[in-house]
Amino acid sequence: MENNNIKLSIVTPYGMIFDGEVKAVNLPGEEGEFGVLPGHCDFLSLLKAGVIDIDMKDGKKELIAINWGYAKVNTTNVDILANGAVAITGNSDSEISKAIDNAKSLLEDAASDKVLLSSVLHKIETNAKQIV
């Protein structure tokens, strides 16, 4: 039987941020955003400041902002080593708002490109409304 999920792990120098099976993940690659589904070809990619957009098995979405890192992709796993990451999660609007502020601070320190920063923050704010 074919597995319709992929194992995703996101690690920073401060510890594990995410570890679990997901349907798909979209990553902010240095050469542009790319999506990964089960059965993807093997490769390594440099990641730039942006948002990791995760499609969970239950149909929900999760967002994780990163400042930069590396992704190792194979047919069954995506392993991400990020220098810094902030999960955009919470059970209330105030918790989500605080997470967005933390992500904004992380990204402002990492990205000097104001257009990129504005685009990433817009994506976070737009998609965060789907989380609560």
The tokens describing 32, both together, are: 């542009």
CA distance 119 to 115: 6
pLDDT at 119 over 80: no
Higher-scoring residue by pLDDT: 28, 113: 28
Nearest one of 92, 6, 109 to 49, comparing CA atoms: 109
pLDDT at 131 over 90: no
pLDDT at 107 over 50: yes
The tokens describing 19, both together, are: 């570890």
Q: Which residues pair with 67 in a beta bridge?
A: none
| 1 — pLDDT class (breaks 50, 70, 90) | very low
The full set of domain ranges for the chain reads 1-132
Residue listed under structure tokens 């070809």: 41
Q: Looking at the domain covering 1-132, what would its CATH class be?
A: mainly beta
Q: Which residues pair with 34 in a beta bridge?
A: 27
pTM above 0.75, yes or no: yes
